Amino acid sequence: MTTTDRRVVANIAVSLDGFYEGPGGPSDMSWLMPYAVSDVARDHLTGLWQNATTALLGRTNAEGFFSYWPTVADDENADPRDRGYGAWMRDTEKVVLSHSLHSAPWPNARVFDEPAADVVKRLKQEPGGDIVVFASASVIKALLAADALDRLSMTVFPKILGGGKRLFNGEAPASTWTLTSVTQGEGVVALTYDTSR
C-alpha cells in the first residue's frame, strides 16, 4: 500500500483569548463575521481550498456549510473569492464524519461513522490534493490527538470573548510546529504552521 503526498490541513478562526466559539454557542457568529470578510481572512481561505480536493467536516459544520456556501457560488453580488469558495464547496469531494447520518444528503459526499484518524489514513491512500478540515473543532482535535495533521492554519480575530470553547484545552499531545506564513491586516492575523514531526 502506498501513501500519496496529500497533506491534511486544519483551518479554524479563534479569538485573541483562544476561543473558536463564544459564550453564545455555535449559532452566535456576531464576533466572527466582521473579520471573516476581511481581505486577509478571504485570501487565507482561498489559499487553502485552491490546493485541496477534499473537504473533511463533522456533521454539524457540514449541514451549515453545505446549505450556505453552494448558494454563494451563483450570487453575482458576492465577493469573487466567496463565489470561488462556494463553487469549490459545491463541486469538490466532501467527507463527513457522523454517528447519526447513514447516507449523504449532499452531492459528491461520503459519510463515515469512524474515527477521524482512520478516515484520514484511508483518504491519504487515494489520489488527490490537500484534505482540508474547515472549522470542525471536534475533527481537528481528534486529528491533533492522533498526530494526523500536517498543517494547522489559523486566523486570529481581534476580539476577547471571555468564555466559550477552546481548540487547545490541554488535551492535545506535545508537538512542535514550524511557522510557514503570516499575513495581517484589518486587525486579523492569518498563521500557517507545518508539523515538525
Find cell 451563483 and name the residue. 74
Task: Give the number of other CB atoms < 10 A from CB of residue 62.
Answer: 25
| Model-wide pTM > 0.85 | yes
2: pLDDT strictly greater than 80: no
DSSP code of residue 17: T
pLDDT digits (tens, 9 = 90+) for 69-84: 999 999 999 999 999 9
**Cell numbers for 75:** 450570487
Specify the pLDDT at position 4: 66
DSSP state of 180: E
Mean pLDDT for 116-126 is: 97
Q: Predicted confidence band at 26 (pLDDT cuts at 50, 70, 90)?
A: confident
What does the block give as the cell for 144? 491533533
Nearest Cα residue to 92 out of 66, 118, 71: 66
Count of H-run helices and E-run strands, the chain:
6, 10
Location of C-alpha cell 492575523: 189
Element (H, E) at 191: strand 188-195
Q: How far apart are CA 172 and CA 119, in angstroms?
A: 19
**Ranges of each domain in the chain:** 8-195
Class of domain 8-195: alpha beta
Dump the DSSP string for 1-16.
-------EEEEEEEET
Q: Which amino acid is at 30?
A: S
Contact between 83 and 69 under an 8 Å Cβ cutoff? The reply is: no
